[in-house]
Amino acid sequence: MQEERHGFQAEVGRLLDIVAHSLYSDRSVFLRELVSNASDACDKLRYLAITRPELAAEDAQFRVVITPEAAAKTLTIADNGIGMNREELVANLGTIARSGTAAFLKEATGDTSKDISLIGQFGVGFYAAFMVAERVEVFSRRAGETQGWRWVSDGKGEFAVAAAEDVARGTRIVLHLREDAGEFLEPLRLKTIIARYSDHVSLPILLKTEGKEEKLNEAAALWMRPKSEITERQYAEFYRHVSHGFDEPRLTIHWRAEGKIDYTALLFVPRSRPLDLFNPDRKHRVKLYVRRVFITDDCADILPGYLRFLQGIVDSEDLPLSISREMLQHNPLLAKIRAALVKRSLSELAKLAEKEPESYADFWKDFGPVLKEGLYEDQEQRETLLKLARFRSTYGEGLVSLADYVGRMKPGQEAIYYLSGESVEAAARSPQLEGFAARGVEVLLLADPVDEFWIPNVGAYDAKPFKSATRGGAELDKIELSEEKKQAQEPQPAGTDALIAMLRLALQDAVKDVRASSRLDTSAVCLVADEGDMDIHLERLLKQHRQLDNASKRVLEVNPRHPLIAGLAKRLSQNGSAEEVTEAAWLLLDQARIVQGEPVADPVAFARRLDATLLKAIA
CA gap 461, 418 in Å, rounded? 13
Q: Which stretch binds ligand ADP (CB under 6 A): 80-88, 189-197, 479-487, 492-500?
A: 80-88
Q: Which stretch binds ligand ADP (CB under 6 A): 37-45, 262-270, 319-327, 473-481?
A: 37-45
Q: Is 270 helix (H, G, I), strand (E, B) or coil?
A: strand
Contact 35, 198 (CB under 8 A): yes
Residue 171 interacting partner from ligand ADP, Mg ion, none (CB closer than 5 to 8 Å by kind): ligand ADP
CA gap 248, 261 in Å, rounded? 30
Q: Is 54 helix (H, G, I), strand (E, B) or coil?
A: helix
Least separation, in Å, of the C-beta of 128 and Mg ion? 9
Least separation, in Å, of the C-beta of 276 and ligand ADP? 13
CA gap 217, 214 in Å, rounded? 9
Which amino acid belongs to residue 190? L
Question: Given candidates 56, 84, 370, 427, which one binds ligand ADP under the rule CB under 6 A?
Answer: 84
CA gap 51, 326 in Å, rounded? 15
CA gap 153, 137 in Å, rounded? 7
CA angle, 524 as apex, 522 and 529 as ends, to 5°? 105
Range 21-50, binding Mg ion (CB under 5 A): 37
Q: Which stretch binds ligand ADP (CB under 6 A): 78-86, 308-316, 445-453, 534-542?
A: 78-86
Site membership for ligand ADP, residue 311 (CB under 6 A): no
Least separation, in Å, of the C-beta of 338 and ligand ADP? 25
Q: Which of 427, 281, 358, 364 is nearest to 372 (CA)?
A: 364
**Closer CB to ligand ADP, 92 or 582, in the complex:** 92
Q: Which residue is nearest to Mg ion (CB)?
A: 125
CA gap 461, 347 in Å, rounded? 19
Residue 64 interacting partner from ligand ADP, Mg ion, none (CB closer than 5 to 8 Å by kind): none
Q: Which stretch binds ligand ADP (CB under 6 A): 74-82, 174-182, 189-197, 593-601?
A: 74-82
What per-residue string of b and e applies to 394-406 under the rule 16 or more CB within 10 Å gives b? bbeeebbbbeebe
Residue 41 interacting partner from Mg ion, ligand ADP, none (CB closer than 5 to 8 Å by kind): ligand ADP
Backbone angles phi, psi at 441, to 5 degrees: -90, 125
**Closer CB to ligand ADP, 98 or 410, in the complex:** 98
Least separation, in Å, of the C-beta of 74 and ligand ADP? 17
**Closer CB to ligand ADP, 38 or 386, in the complex:** 38
| Strands across the sheet containing 513-516 | 513-516, 555-558, 525-528
Contact 98, 244 (CB under 8 A): yes
Site membership for ligand ADP, residue 41 (CB under 6 A): yes
Question: Given candidates 81, 125, 304, 495, which one binds Mg ion under the rule CB under 5 A?
Answer: 125
Least separation, in Å, of the C-beta of 83 and ligand ADP? 6
Site membership for ligand ADP, residue 81 (CB under 6 A): yes
**Closer CB to ligand ADP, 171 or 470, in the complex:** 171
Site membership for ligand ADP, residue 276 (CB under 6 A): no
DSSP designation for 328: T
Q: Which residue is nearest to ligand ADP (CB)?
A: 125
Least separation, in Å, of the C-beta of 126 and Mg ion? 6
**Closer CB to ligand ADP, 81 or 560, in the complex:** 81
Residue 347: how many CB atoms within 10 A of its CB? Answer: 13
Least separation, in Å, of the C-beta of 171 and ligand ADP? 4
Q: What is the dihedral of CA 224, 226, 232, 235, to 10 degrees?
A: 10
Range 162-191, binding ligand ADP (CB under 6 A): 171
CA gap 467, 457 in Å, rounded? 12
Q: Where are the alpha helices (DSSP H) in 231-356?
A: 232-243, 332-355
**Closer CB to Mg ion, 16 or 337, in the complex:** 16
Site membership for Mg ion, residue 155 (CB under 5 A): no
Range 119-138, binding ligand ADP (CB under 6 A): 125-126
Residue 229: how many CB atoms within 10 A of its CB? Answer: 8
Q: What burial class does residue 215 get, using C-beta atoms within 10 Å of its C-beta: 0-12 exposed, 13-18 middle, 19+ buried?
A: exposed
Contacts of 92 (CB under 8 A, 6+ apart): 84, 126
Contacts of 483 (CB under 8 A, 6+ apart): none
Least separation, in Å, of the C-beta of 39 and ligand ADP? 9
CA gyration radius for the chain?
Answer: 32
Contacts of 344 (CB under 8 A, 6+ apart): 253, 255, 265
Site membership for ligand ADP, residue 241 (CB under 6 A): no
Q: Which stretch binds ligand ADP (CB under 6 A): 36-44, 158-166, 398-406, 451-459?
A: 36-44
Q: Which stretch binds ligand ADP (CB under 6 A): 23-31, 35-43, 146-154, 413-421?
A: 35-43
Range 316-345, binding ligand ADP (CB under 6 A): none
**Closer CB to ligand ADP, 11 or 69, in the complex:** 11
**Closer CB to Mg ion, 8 or 461, in the complex:** 8
Site membership for ligand ADP, residue 38 (CB under 6 A): yes
In DSSP terms, which residues pair with 149 in a beta bridge? 140, 163
Question: Given candidates 37, 67, 381, 496, which one binds ligand ADP under the rule CB under 6 A?
Answer: 37
Contacts of 197 (CB under 8 A, 6+ apart): 28, 29, 31, 32, 35, 237
Least separation, in Å, of the C-beta of 528 and ligand ADP? 51
Question: Given candidates 92, 112, 209, 582, which one binds ligand ADP under the rule CB under 6 A?
Answer: 92
DSSP designation for 282: P
**Closer CB to ligand ADP, 82 or 433, in the complex:** 82
Side-chain half-sphere CA neighbours of 75 within 13 A: 25
Residue 369 interacting partner from Mg ion, ligand ADP, none (CB closer than 5 to 8 Å by kind): none
CA gap 511, 500 in Å, rounded? 12
Site for Mg ion, rule CB under 5 A = 37, 125
Site for ligand ADP, rule CB under 6 A = 33, 37-38, 40-41, 79, 81-84, 92-93, 97-98, 125-126, 171, 244
